[in-house]
Structure formats: C-alpha cells, structure tokens
Amino acid sequence: MLFEDRLRAESFGETAAQYDRARPSYPPALLDALLAAGPRTVLDVGCGTGIAAALFAARGCTVLGVEVDARMAELARAKGIEVEVARFEDWQRHGRRFDLLISGQAWHWIEPTVGAARAAEALHEGGKIAVFWNFGNPPPHVLELLAPIYARLASGVETYSVLLGNRDERVEATLAAMADCRSFANAETDTFMWGKRYDTAGWLEQLATHSDHHALTAQRRERLLGALGEALDGIGGSFEMAYETVLISARRV
C-alpha cells in the first residue's frame, strides 16, 4: 500500500516550488458539484501547496489545510491558506468540525481505515468527505513513443504511474474503507473529463514532481527525462493530455 512508503509520501517538499508550478489544477465542474449544497467550512487533508484549497477559498469557503511537509505548507500559506503541519492520522482536531473534507492527490498517502474514521470525526453530521485524483491518459502515439524509453531507462515506472494511464489500488481501497466505516453512507464515484496541453518542458517538469519519478536516483532520472524530452521534441514538442478527475464522496450520518 502506498501510505506505508513514508519516504515517498513525505518527499514532495523537496520539489515544492516545482510541484506548485507544474501540477495540474482541477476542473470547475468538480468544484460546482462539491459546492452545490453550500458548504462554508472546508478541511483540506494533504493540502500540499494549496492548489485545491485556493480554488475553494476563491469560491468563498473558509479553508483549513493539514499538510505533513512544512515546505509545502509554506507555499500554501503564501496563498492565504491557513495550514497546520501534521500527519492527518496524528492531527489534533481540538473539537472543530467542518462542512466538507477534501483531499486532492493525497488520500492514498493516508491509512484508509484510520483516515475514514478521522474524517468522520472532523465532519458535522450531514457533512461530506470528497477525495479526488487526476488520472492521466496520454494519447496512444505518445505512449508508444515513450514506452521503449521507460523500458530501457526506468523499467517498471511506466506500468504503474498514474500519469501514464495506469490505475492502482487507491480508489478501491478508499471505497472499501468508507464502506467499512459506519459513519458514512453510500459512497459514490464520479468522473470529470478535461484536458490540458503540454509542451516538452512543462511535461518533464511535472513528471519530476511525481514520487515514482522522483524516487529514481538523480543520474537515472536525468537520463530518463533527457531521453523523453528528445523524443517529444521529435514529434513537435507538444501534445494534448486527457485527464480524468475521479471523485469519491460520501455523507456523514
């Protein structure tokens, strides 16, 4: 399970500024769906640099972030987000409750059973938990171009990276934990389709912020990114990336 790999889970602060620049945002339709019931107070678990938190704050919500890495939290605070530095499993609620708990690109780093129980404690009755991820679907010609490079220089990464069209156990584990937590009723899954165009530099910058790529040795990562960049430049230096934002949500009973 990914949450058990603490070196990867807590490595993102090493590239915090790059992460904030390169990581994609979330589609407006996701926010429309989560704000339809009018929540005012939002707890953002694993808020990172505040990419999701800032979107909810801009819609008028009061947002509190919980983030394990102080370097990531510093960038979120620079956007006006209040952040408390802690693992969510250890975070002190101090009696506070929220209308909506969100987690973008982060819930798989939290033990799912403990996370579900702690989320229930942090929500008002009738409040909602909403965890979501951006899953990438590069066009087939790009995948075909890059596959042999990965096979040669970073074998295995291309078979599990969610940025390269793969899925892992995170969705299933989250749904199972919510089903086992009697404080939540009828977890639902929704998908939001959208796209983003990348040039070579932007694509490589984002790749380097993903833990599966960042976990490579610096020399190996440099060789991989260099080869990927040459290949992408060879087909014009840009492509349209299709994203699926998968949302799992449930009401606290």
pLDDT tens readout for residues 112-170: 999 999 999 999 999 999 999 999 999 999 999 999 999 999 998 888 788 888 887 88
pLDDT digit string (tens) for 32-77?
999 999 999 999 999 999 999 999 999 999 999 999 999 999 999 9
Cα 216 to chain centroid, rounded: 20
- Residues 75-86, mean pLDDT to the nearest whole number: 98
Q: What is the pLDDT of residue 3?
A: 61
Structure tokens at 7: 């070196």
- The answer on pLDDT for 4 being more than 60 is no
pLDDT exceeds 90 at position 235: yes
**pLDDT above 60 for 239:** yes
Instruction: Report pTM.
Output: 0.94
pLDDT of residue 8: 63
Q: Please state, in angstroms and rounded to a whole number, the distance separating the CA atoms of residues 250 and 129.
A: 6
Q: What is the pLDDT of residue 5?
A: 57
Residue 159 has a pLDDT of 80
Q: Which of 24-60 are b and which e, b meaning 16 or more Cβ less than 10 Å from the residue's Cβ?
A: bebbeebbeebbeeebebbbbbbbbbbbbbbbbbeee
Query: Which tokens go with 63?
Result: 């947002």
Which amino acid appears at position 12 of this protein? F
Tell me the percentage of the chain whose pLDDT exceeds 90: 86
Q: Which fold has domain 2-138+165-197+243-252?
A: Rossmann fold (3.40.50)
Across the range 15-39, mean pLDDT stands at 96
User: Per-residue pLDDT for 247 more than 60?
Assistant: yes
Confidence at residue 167, expressed as pLDDT on a 0 to 100 scale: 82
- Bridge partner residues of 197 (DSSP): 240
pLDDT at residue 85 is higher than 80 = yes
Is the pLDDT score of 244 beyond 70? yes
